Homo-oligomer: A and B are copies of this chain.
Amino acid sequence: MAKIAVVGGTGDLGNAIAKRLVKAGGHQVLIGSRRAEAAAEAAAALGPNVGHGVNAEVAKNCDIVIVTVPYSAQANTLKDITDSVGQAIVVDTTVPLVPPKVMRVQLPAGGSAAMEAREHLGEGVRLVTAFHNVAAHKLATDEVVDCDVLVFSDDVEARGQVVSLVGDIGMRGLAGGSLANSAAAEALTSLLIFFNRTYQADGAGVRFTGLKTAPPIG
């Protein structure tokens, strides 16, 4: 039983993750937003026991804080919650897409949105990144999402907890290595968007093969 806040939980990805967490049961879920009213509305739609509040508020006293905002809002959102998160695991899901060319890999000068998140949060925060490659509209359904979730962190124990959490919502989580490796998953998202157009995919996904001791698929 973990207390999990979804910061930016009114957006497509955050809402889908929250929905799956509620459905899985066993965790206390809170929806955060910049606007308290929007958070309350989204929480009510998910069920009677879902908490809500502004981002910096829901991020307090949690075990896990999942941040699901667009790249353009990443810096401000992380700064908003830095003083709240304490020893919680912060799961940043940011993909550094640069509109309008979202099908083109354009990693930040620092190497990845993950390394930027590390800058914004400071060294003391337990930072993990994940969920870069999941199509939100598929995650919002009850169907199996044919995609692995890559999980990155320099904190091996935190990474393991998030891999396990991914399993709770019915997907396969895979440890992808250090935080710096997040660049691989972040870059992959532009390819998936390219595939959606080029190969008429309705939410292309990625699976890794040949992994003998990884959690089973589905």
A103 to nearest B CB, angstroms? 6
Take A195-B211, A210-B146, A210-B201 as given contacts and tell me if A105 and B188 are in contact as well, using a CB distance cutoff of 8 Å. Answer: no
A95 to nearest B CB, angstroms? 12
How far is it, in angstroms, between the C-alpha of A203 and the C-alpha of B210 when the chains are bound? 7
- Does A183 have its Cβ within 8 Å of any Cβ on chain B? yes
Residues of B within 8 A of A147 (CB): 209
Q: Are A177 and B106 in contact (CB under 8 A)?
A: no
How far is it, in angstroms, between the C-alpha of A107 and the C-alpha of B112 when the chains are bound? 10
Q: Are B175 and A198 in contact (CB under 8 A)?
A: yes
Q: Are B184 and A191 in contact (CB under 8 A)?
A: yes
Take A104-B178, A104-B180, A188-B184 as given contacts and tell me if A205 and B210 are in contact as well, using a CB distance cutoff of 8 Å. Answer: yes
Q: How large is the interface on A (under 10, 10 to 19, 20 to 34, 35 or more residues)?
A: 35 or more
Q: Are B174 and A195 in contact (CB under 8 A)?
A: yes
How far is it, in angstroms, between the C-alpha of A204 and the C-alpha of B175 when the chains are bound? 13
How far is it, in angstroms, between the C-alpha of A184 and the C-alpha of B107 when the chains are bound? 10
Taking CB as reference atom, which chain B residue is nearest A182?
A: B105
> Can you sample 29 A-B contacts with CB below 8 Å?
A103-B177, A105-B183, A105-B184, A107-B183, A146-B210, A147-B209, A176-B191, A176-B194, A177-B191, A177-B198, A181-B190, A181-B191, A181-B194, A183-B183, A183-B187, A184-B187, A187-B187, A192-B208, A195-B208, A199-B213, A201-B210, A201-B211, A201-B212, A202-B210, A204-B211, A205-B209, A206-B207, A206-B208, A207-B208
